[in-house]
Every structure is written in structure tokens, then in C-alpha cells.
Amino acid sequence: MSTIEGRFQQEEVTLFDGPVPVLFVPATLGVYCLTAEAMRVLQLVREGLSAETVAGTLGCPTETINAFVERTMKTLEEDRKRIALPEPRTLKSGGSLPQLVFMVNNYCNLKCTYCYEHENVFTAPSASIPKELATAALEMMSDIFSRIGRIMFIGGEPALCEDLLDYICEQATAITQRKGQKTPSFCMITNGTRFTPKLAEVVARYQIQITFSVDGPPAVHDKLRVHHDNSPSFVTIQQNIQRYREMDVAPLAIECTVTDVHRKANLSMSSLLDFFSKEFGVEEAHVAVAGLPADSSLNPGQDGVAYFMEFSDAARLSVERLLGRTMGREPQGAALDLVTAMLRGLKSRKGNVQMCPAGTTQLVIDSAGDIYPC
């Protein structure tokens, strides 16, 4: 077998033989569209056939096969010189901290049925981060890192501590400016049930991007996300999302936690994407499965493979929608944010070697002042 054929067999590439045949190179995120004939040649060579055998199988000269494989290898080699994925980063490798998370409190005004915090964080006495501790944390992090990219607020329920959010944003702005660093952006994950005039003012002043937790239509959401008196929460969240959208300070984001309640309501992940698009006007949404024990009545995976195929269906639908937008078609619904991020990486060819930010691009400070990777 010729050297060129042997080299191609050792290349770390993947061949996708679909409606549009594609050669994908994981090391450079290179995507090459092929003709059906070109795909067939590469498949046969990949299987270990010689150029002569491939030529005889396809009815073309051996020289043509050799020339095509050599041209393919040259293209891959040139691409490899131009593009390479980044090395796995550590918190010190880039000199900056992409995200600092403040768990501003350990209490919440909802008692979501699937929430795991009831067994750990919420068992401790209710507490918020003391202002002096928050200041010390900001000073320390801005000393260690040349820049803090973004500050995120979580809980508990961070919207219950509007004055503390105001204080941390103010201090982060002042401290980074004093040290000649770029001011971080701010974001928050909230259950959306509380949006006071004071909170709205803080959100507007610091351009805080908000992710609202919504688990679907009222019939499902209100079985899962209830107040301590068991009253529903959807209508209040819906109204507060509308208020946030009207402020137009930052993009709205939606996250959803899937349980067996969704399954029993025949609400698939794809239909959730349709609902979030129609109800809230978002183009993508974060949809994840509740982290529950296997024997939990709320665990949506009890039926086995059929449920997990919903991920595949929703991902395929997301790809179709995203490619449609790229081609100028009118948006047909939301896409999974995970798929959006993957396609964005392919388009920009700026890959991310981390599956999770814990300990590599993110640090978390809880309400007691302890530091965690997640």
C-alpha cells in the first residue's frame, strides 16, 4: 500500500455519509463537503483498500485515485498549520478568570419538587454573603487574576437580596476600575417570582443579563415550581419576564428542568423548545434533566431508551433550525443552547476543550465565604 494511503488511514477524521457527504476533522473543527463519488473513494481507502482496488471498484484510473487522496491530505495538512484547538486551560493559564459566581444566599421563596438543595444547602441556617466578605473576595480575585470576565449571581434565590446585588456590582465596578482592569459584566439565574422596582433599577444600571427558570407551560410548571404555601408561580414569572424584556437591557435566557411530569404530560423536549419560542420569543433555551436518584418518581429516565431519544430528536431539530437561520429563513422555533454553542464553535473554528467550567474557567463563592469549583 502506498504511503499516501497509509497516511490517510491514520488521519483522525470522521466521514458522514448523509444527504450532503461531509469530512470532519476534530483537531481543527474543519468541515469539508464532498461529492458522493469523493465520499465513496475516501470510505474505501479508509477501509484499507489499495488505490488499484478502489480504482477497479469505481471504474476509474489508479492515478486519479492517488491524486485525489494526495490532494485531500495536502488540504488537511495546510489546514492543520493554520488552525489548532486550544490546550485545556487552567485557572492560571490565561491570567484571567472568565466567571466568578456569587451564591449570594442559601434560601429560596419556592420549594420546587425536584430541588436537591432541600437536602443540603437549605438545611443550614438562612444566610446571605456579608458585604465585607463580598468585598474581600472581589479584592482577592482581582489581585490573583488580571481580569474577571463575568460575575454571576445564584442562590438560593438571588432576587431576594437586591441590596446585596447592588452592593456587589458597585464594588466590582469600583475595584476593577481602581486596578486598571476591565469592568466585568453581570448576570443572574433566578426563579423569576420577584422583580421589585429596586431590583429592576439595579438590573438596568448594571445591565444584568437574567436567566429565568421556567419548566414549560403552566400545567407542568405549576406542578413543579410552587411557593411554600403550594401556590403556583407561572403567571408571576410570565409577567416578570415581560417586564424584563420591555427593559431591553440584555438578552433574555430561559432554562428548564425536565422531570417525569413532562413525560406524563406528553411534553417532549422539542415541544418545550416550541413553547419557549412562542411564549417568550427566545431563539435558544437550556433544557436539562433533573439530577435525581434512579428510583425517584420524578426521574424522567425510568422508561429507558425512548426518553433519551428525545435528546437526539431535539438536537436534530435544533440543527435544522440553526442552519435554516444561517440560510436566511424565518426562525421556526428555539434551539437547544448546547447545540447552538457547538455550531457556533464550528462556524468560528474556535473550539472549547472543556465540557464543564468547574475549576477551569469558573470559581464559586458561597454564602459562608467558602470557594468551590462549581
What are the backbone angles phi and psi of residue 288, rounded to the nearest 5°?
Answer: -135, 160
Q: 299-322 burial by CB neighbour count: b if 16+ within 10 A, else e?
A: bbbeeeeebeebeeebbebbbebb
Range(s) of the domain holding residue 361 = 96-372
Count of domains for the chain: 2
Q: pLDDT, tens digit, for every residue of 79-136?
A: 888 876 666 666 666 688 999 999 999 999 999 999 876 666 666 788 999 999 999 9
Q: What is residue 279's predicted lDDT score, i.e. its pLDDT?
A: 97
According to DSSP H, which parts of the chain are helical?
3-10, 36-46, 51-58, 62-82, 131-144, 162-178, 197-206, 218-224, 234-247, 260-264, 269-280, 305-326, 337-348
Are 152 and 240 members of one domain?
yes
Task: Assign 95 to helix, strand or coil.
Answer: coil
**For 80, phi and psi rounded to 5 degrees?**
-65, -30
pTM of the model: 0.86
Say how many residues make up the chain: 374
The reply to whether 100 and 78 lie within a common domain is: no
> How far apart are alpha carbons 59 and 48 in whole angstroms?
18
The verdict on 175 and 45 lying in the same domain is no
Looking at the chain, the whole-number percentage of residues with pLDDT higher than 70 is: 92
Same domain as 179, residue 48: no
One domain, residues 164 and 279: yes
Could you write out the three-class secondary structure of 327-351?
CCCCCCCCEEHHHHHHHHHHHHCCC
286 found inside a domain: yes
Co-location of 19 and 162 in the same domain: no
Across the chain, what does the average pLDDT equal?
90
Residues 121 and 206 in one domain: yes
pLDDT bin (cut points 50, 70, 90) of residue 1 is very low
C-alpha cell at 48: 484499507
In this predicted structure, what is the pLDDT of residue 291? 81
